[in-house]
Chains A and B, each alone.
Chain A
Amino acid sequence: VAMARRRQAAAVLLSPPSSEDEANEAPEEVSFGAAKEAAETERKLVGEAARRHRELLKEKRRRRQELFAEQKKRKLLPEAVLQELSAAPPAGRNQHRLLLGSNSRARPGVSVVLGSVTVLRGFTSLSLYLTRSKGNYMAVCLKEQSLAGLHQQLAKDFLNAQLYGPDANRAQANEFFSLENKKDPVKKAAVQFVDKSWGEYKMSKTT
């Protein structure tokens, strides 16, 4: 009977609050034991939920790491090619120059354009691999554009700042030309107020 009463009390505690009329009544009398048990169950449930959440995050992290490892492996050419390249001298005879590896190995400011790499199995020499590859593929060594472009932009900024910067005392076009209109022997309205569309297109008679 005591256990039934405890269970009942726990059920009452865990169940949603009853309707409004009953809210005016005094709270139910609950024994200490029942309350303790209710708290424990609740703790257990929350704990399990937290643990599941942690597991899920761990799983996610693990999967992401695997994906990165996979991508890194995919980026590099097959092991055999890399070995041959590190052994052979840099290929220079044709116009295409290949720069391989991650960005840290490439010279700063040089972009490398590589199309999709087709993996050939059973090749015998590096040069065969390079000449065999067809498809939309061209690797080029570009001029150090980024650095030159930066210098040019700095130069242009200097010029702009000097001619049109805050000290330059420039006037808006309509302000400037309205002044001329007002100084003319025949005074005209300010440029802004002259109806521009009037002169756009006309057909007129002339002899």
Chain B
Amino acid sequence: MGEFEVHRVRFFGLVPAGVRCLVCQPRGGRLALARTDGAVEVYNFAANYFQEKVIPGHEARSVEALCWAAGDRLFGAGLGGDITEYDLARLCAAHSVDGCGGPIWSMAANSSGTQLAIGCEDGSVKLFQVVPGGIQFERNLDRRKGRILCLSWHPSDTHIAAGSIDILRVFDVRSGQTVQRVMVNYHVQKVKRECIVWSIAFLSSGTVVTSDSFGRVQFWDWERGTLLESHTISTSAVLSLAVSEKEDSIIVGTSTGATYQFQLLPVKTGSLEKRWVRTKPFQHHTHDVRAVAHSSTALISGGLDAQLVIRPLMEKMQKKGYEAALRKFTFPHRRLVSCARKARLLLFQFSQHLELWRLGSTDETGDDGEVLPLRRMPEHLVQLKSKGPEHIYCSCVSPCGSWVSYSTASRFHLYRVQYEGDGVSVKKVPKVPKLLLPAYQLQFSSDSSSLFVASARGSVHVLQLLEPGGCKHLHTLQPPSGSPEAVYLLASSADGHWLAAVGGDWAIHIYNLKCFKHHCMVPMYSCAVTAVAIHPVTNNLVITYSDQQLFEFSIPEKQYTAWSRMVQNRGLHKVWLERDSPITHITFNPKNPSHILLHDIYMFCVLDKSLPLPDNSTLLMNQGTLKQLPETARQRQLHAFKICKKFQPLLFADLLDEKCLVMVERPIMDIKTQLPLPIQQKKFGT
């Protein structure tokens, strides 16, 4: 791999927000997720669970319930009392309607996706019609005292079951009347606490499933108002539950971070009588699991520890390969760090502020693995707080370090940074061009003279940066046949000639910046793009996809390179394809044109195109063994993928100069100690 000095950075204090809601798209293959800071994300199952859309949060937005309706429309509701529809093409909140019932605790769509029912703080259940362009209030159902914490439609849409405090209620949708009222606290003796029904599900058989704060999962016959089965699975609250489409499997999440699966199994083999049995326990989370979902093949849970866990069910898998592996996601699938190489600066993006740091330096040298003493410590130069309640969409620092830019949902900011000796002064550029906001990605050109702004409908704005501190709109680039989706990735060439833009429809367009014309489009691939970069010498575009495929496309020749074809013919190594996290950054070594540097959360790789490709029988991660071999043996076993797994979880890696790397790590334990408190665990023997 070569010898490098590594700046190992652990002062990016990112604390991802906890997962609050999860909902699978019916018949769509996507998962919508809402976090405690109001951010909404969409994951694509087919694209290797790639986080394909992110709508940043908002200070005033609390999302307590999320649901898909009318096919692919996404709605959210929360303690603010509004029902919000999210525009997934423009990645923002489209419009809001006041529920008029106070804070909204729960929301569910009927099976045809034409109506939404919301459960409110004032004890009412309200029905809304989903119409083109928005939603319309239809009517209130019978209102009683007690906040409606959860609700569920019967699959036939004739009844709604609602959970409250100490009570579960069933409504007849047509008449709006309460047709059943069951006290769930009845069986608990001498208890002064109230029983909170945290989640509820209505099965087609007429069974209502509830989970409550006493750690019980209970099955009720709603018509008779009787308890069929009661399972006490935890000493702390069971906060969430989700039923599979076939209604033969249930996943529940508890406050302790444990999740359990219930399955409807025959009492004896061959018997027709079936019972719900608690089958599999899981402990994937350390904090409360407030959201669970059940897809056709997997159990999905999200915790306040910010982790999204997808546990495929073995019995549903065709083959026991990597598809059946457990997937855990803690960090976003996009870059939150940008680097000014020459100036040795790092810009960290938080949800409501940015931090600009200057790296430290050392004069010493040492042996492999040795920690070198610093001559100058890293400095926190500037903290830029975003004004207003909106969270930040994207940010960037120019390669020279003199410009910093970021965008929120409605504002775009550009700053000029000046370095005087040891001090730093930041000045806002006053008149920025009026653009359609938000910007989804920002990228400065390599000579820091232009700023590329990724916008909606496939467009990219080119802004010219003027000294001493100004900005002018030069041109807007658009794909020839238009695109409904926003651009989310940008890459510009070192010579300032080319720009590559990736849209939400996964199309990659390449533009000629000298004449501002569309140059060509990379052939469509069936997966989402996770990172792109243009080689400084050859102007080859290197592309990584969410299924871990890797391509190299020659921009001047408008076709894949010979090396790329060879890689595709040979196929990538199995271990490479079975990585859990996507590549989020690609960069190059100007002194070594055959090198491509890339990284994901768990590994950093120097891909040397001049070396042979490994086949499946060779060990992929062979750096350790190579070091121990004598020179001649090493030469025989060298292959193109030089992978280092020493630094993880890795949020960002870049080459500062030919001998210097920077690695930004975020240890998981540093995050966990800053989260809300977990439940006390009493372990035997401690």
**Which residues of A are at the interface with B, using a C-beta cutoff of 8 A?**
148, 151-152, 154-156, 158, 162-164, 167-177, 179, 182-183, 191, 196, 199-207
Contact = CB atoms under 8 A, between A and B. Distances in A.
Contacts of B646: 206
9 contacts: A162-B213, A163-B237, A163-B288, A168-B679, A200-B10, A201-B11, A202-B372, A204-B366, A205-B5
B81 A151 contact: yes
Nearest to A206: B6
B10 A191 contact: no
Contacts of B8: 201-204
Interface of B: 1-11, 62, 79-81, 102-103, 105, 121, 147, 193, 196, 213, 235-237, 255, 286, 288, 360, 362, 365-372, 374, 377-378, 627, 644, 646, 661, 667, 669-670, 672-681, 683, 686
Nearest to A199: B10
Given A177-B672, A201-B8, A204-B6, A170 B79 contact: no
A203 B372 contact: yes
Contact of B79 (A152, A174, A200): A152
B258 to A, nearest CB: 14
Nearest to B104: A155
Contacts of A170: 677-680
B678 A171 contact: yes
A89 B237 CA distance: 58
Contacts of A191: 669, 673
A196 B7 CA distance: 18
B58 to A, nearest CB: 14
Contacts of B79: 152, 155-156
A105 B673 CA distance: 52
A199 B105 CA distance: 42
A158 B121 CA distance: 11
A183 B686 contact: yes
A191 B678 CA distance: 15
A169 B196 CA distance: 16
Given A155-B102, A168-B679, A203 B5 contact: yes
B681 A179 contact: yes
Nearest to B681: A179
A5 B552 CA distance: 126
A171 to B, nearest CB: 4
Contact of A204 (B213, B236, B370): B370
B672 A169 contact: no
Contact of B680 (A155, A169, A201, A203): A169
Nearest to A167: B193
B366 A205 contact: yes
Contacts of A173: 672-675, 677-678
Given A152-B79, A152-B81, A204-B370, A171 B673 contact: no
A39 to B, nearest CB: 73
B669 A152 contact: no
A70 to B, nearest CB: 40
Contacts of A204: 5-6, 8, 366, 369-372
B291 to A, nearest CB: 14
Contacts of A151: 81, 102-103, 121
A205 B372 contact: yes
B479 to A, nearest CB: 39
B671 to A, nearest CB: 11
Contact of A206 (B105, B255, B369): B369
Given A202-B8, A203-B372, A205-B3, A152 B677 contact: no
Contacts of A207: 1-4, 368, 627
A85 B522 CA distance: 69
A167 B194 CA distance: 11
Given A171-B681, A174-B673, A199-B667, A205 B369 contact: yes
Contacts of B360: 201, 203
A203 B374 contact: yes
Contacts of B678: 170-171, 173, 176
Nearest to A171: B680
A177 B673 contact: yes
A175 B679 CA distance: 11
Nearest to B378: A201
A171 B677 contact: yes
B676 A164 contact: yes
Shortest 8 CB-CB distances between A and B: which pairs?
Answer: A170-B677, A171-B680, A155-B103, A173-B673, A202-B8, A151-B102, A203-B372, A155-B79
A200 B665 CA distance: 10
A172 B680 CA distance: 8
Contacts of A196: 670
Most buried by A among B81, B121, B378, B680: B680
B6 A205 contact: yes
B64 to A, nearest CB: 9
Given A170-B678, A203-B6, A203-B371, 11 more contacts: A148-B80, A151-B102, A168-B679, A199-B667, A200-B10, A203-B374, A204-B371, A205-B3, A205-B368, A205-B369, A207-B2
Most buried by B among A168, A177, A201, A203: A203
Nearest to B367: A205
Contact of A176 (B193, B213, B681): B681
A7 to B, nearest CB: 81
Most buried by B among A162, A164, A169, A204: A204
Contacts of A172: 677
A151 B99 CA distance: 13
A99 B627 CA distance: 81
Contact of A155 (B10, B121, B213): B121
Contacts of B11: 200-201
B224 to A, nearest CB: 30
Contacts of B102: 148, 151, 155
A172 B679 CA distance: 9
Contacts of B62: 152
A24 to B, nearest CB: 78
A3 B178 CA distance: 105
A170 B288 CA distance: 11
Contacts of B677: 164, 170-173, 176
A99 B11 CA distance: 52
Contacts of A177: 286, 669, 672-673
Contacts of A179: 681, 683, 686
B378 A163 contact: no
Contacts of A199: 10, 667
A105 to B, nearest CB: 26
A148 B679 contact: no
Contacts of A167: 193
Contacts of A169: 235-236, 679-680
Given A155-B79, A191-B673, A205-B370, A171 B7 contact: no
A203 B344 CA distance: 14
A155 B122 CA distance: 10
A183 B680 CA distance: 15
A164 B288 CA distance: 11
Most buried by B among A163, A167, A172, A196: A163
A30 to B, nearest CB: 81
Contact of B4 (A168, A174, A206): A206
